[in-house]
Structures are given as structure tokens and as C-alpha cells.
Amino acid sequence: MWLVKTEPSVFSFDDLVKEGRTAWDGVTNPAALKNLRAMKSGDKVLVYHTGDERSAVGIAEVVKEAYPDPRKNDPRLVVVDLRAGTPLKTPVSLADLKAARVFAGSPLVRQGRLSVVPLTREQWDFVVKAGGR
């Protein structure tokens, strides 16, 4: 299970829903790229809006594992394909995540700029429940 961050003015969860499926690109941080490479088909993904929103807003699924970014000529850069799932009924804010004991040691709160974050089952369950799903 994973959490991916996106700036909603650039590409939002609603955009993913409209497209249905997309290559998740734009990741350049080595730790985030390592996490992208670790994603497997069928893995569940929470989509998190950065910027003014700072909230987990929807659920997606990995439908194609890491492959070279077709828009870049750099073998280090990879993408995965995500398929839209359902929106959370209630966005779960960063403040709520930071306040939850289950996120105490998470890279989500320790490495704020990390755009692809692994989640434990407990973290996933917390967000999905808090989001009304």
C-alpha cells in the first residue's frame, strides 16, 4: 500500500478519475523512485493533494509496474500506471495524519517532501476509515 502526492492544480484526483488511468510521472527524488520501483500490480494507492489542500482524497490502484518514463531520456526515471478508484467521502488532512499515533514514524510525516510513501496496513486502514470508506 502506498500514498502518492500530487499538486491538484497540476493533476488532481478528479483528473485521474476523468482519465481513468494514467502514467504517474514527474517523480525525480531517488527515495521516491525506489518506492515507485517497489510498487506491484494490484497494490492500493492513496492519492494525496499537496499545496493548500494537504489531504488524502482518493483511492487508486497500480495497474502496471515501473517502466522507463516514456517522456524522458533518462534511464533513472520511471513511472507506474495507476487506475482511478473511488474518492474518499471526507478528505483526511495532514493534521489528522500527524495527530494519529499510527503515523508517528512514517516517512509521510518525517520526510514531508517525499512524493511516494509506503503505508502499513494500519496506516491504510486509518486513512480509509477516517475518509469514510
Q: How far apart are CA 17 and CA 113, in angstroms?
A: 25
Residue whose entry in the numeric block shows the C-alpha cell 484526483:
13
| pLDDT at site 42 | 98
pLDDT in tens, 67-99: 999 999 898 999 999 999 999 999 999 999 999
The topology under which CATH files domain 2-130 is ph1033 like fold (3.10.590)
Domain residues of the chain, as ranges? Answer: 2-130
**Which residue, among 66, 65, 70, 82, has the nearest Cα to 21 in the 3D structure?**
82
Q: Largest alpha-carbon pair distance within the chain?
A: 42
Task: Please give the average pLDDT of every successive group of 10 residues along the chain, which has 133 residues.
Answer: 97 98 95 97 98 96 97 93 98 96 91 92 97 91
What pLDDT shows up at residue 33? 97
